[in-house]
A and B are shown apart, each in its own frame.
Chain A
């Protein structure tokens, strides 16, 4: 019974982390229609920056601001300076982000070295929650809460605010929006910044669980892709659903079908894409 409970909890907390990792990715796809394969590299830089700030100052708030801010600004520069030049051509967009991720990952290796880095949660989130019936870390409970908050925040931003209305309008018809006098460029900057910020902060959140090492960027990217593609590209609720599917199936497979662990992430995704290419929550193919 307790194994069942902890499997559910682990699955949910892994899902929460996956959702937070995929947040910036899904935002950029949802609004900019960019399949950002440099997402893992942005995550990696966020993780290293945050780890450096924490080991230097011990200030987690500052780490969030630096990781999110620097990665966000870099994303704005990349988005406006590079991506805008190839916008509209999917093939070149994808290749451009691959190229950028090669550069960023190798630069990270040059700057930060290849030693593994461990990042601890802030003091008040360390250790196991003693009020739970099974061993379970406080930090993972925090992740679940944070994922709910971020998910709700993004939903509220996009669906309920005037900025959100503009963003949605922008997805549908940006020329029309520009002709109505809206500063589309500034809107774009906002989206790039938000996407990069989320990716950078995800670096901090994820590295507390996974640690940081070269190569993590590719694995994070693959996780984000699976989650987002399962749910339906660009759909916020889809990303949430995809996270839950991956998180829970991974958690249960670990306990009940460990032999299949290697295939548990990509197998279901492949099957789903073949049956339903638009993903669980995608609108149409």
Chain B
């Protein structure tokens, strides 16, 4: 009896132990993983710095983290970097809106109305594959050297991606939802507002995210020609002056902008589509 009880106690203890071990190892694993993802960029920077210090890479071409940092601080302090960042940001946002709003509207109408789709689809299909950079000279001729040519370059890249995704979003709505609306005799307008639009929202957001990626790509190209400010302009200017450190500073800003914009879109998506399963 005593022996049995002892055994039992032993068993319980063993179980507790097993639990603890499991929890411990899980936590430790999570901690290691986090540390890893934090350490890997740090390691790369250190390696870069070390290679530069040992003169294994040419600092005139590749620079080094400390040199970039030395350039970065005064650029921030003088407000110059912020100035260029704000100019580029306002171009990106304007271009994004000018492209995305008609993209959503046309995409919805092309998804909902077969005649509109029949009318516009050939035009979209023919013009979509044209590289947006290839029409930049044309845009410059039409819109001149001012802000509007830069905004339009970004807008046109965003427009197609949002248009095509929105249309696909409407066309891919599960037919059963259409049946439900029909079986309850929803009017056309009720169908658009209660089924077609909300059903297409996830795809619309996929298009917006892709469009944002393209906008960042195009800002650099748009600021190549006839710009006097902006992060993209900074890069081209640094290229002309062979100022590698400045170039890296601008690249850092672009990476940061890309991160911020995608983060903002994620937040907006979670507010607009609270019903989506984000797991």
* Chain A complexes with chain B: no
Binding site for B on A (CB under 8 A): none
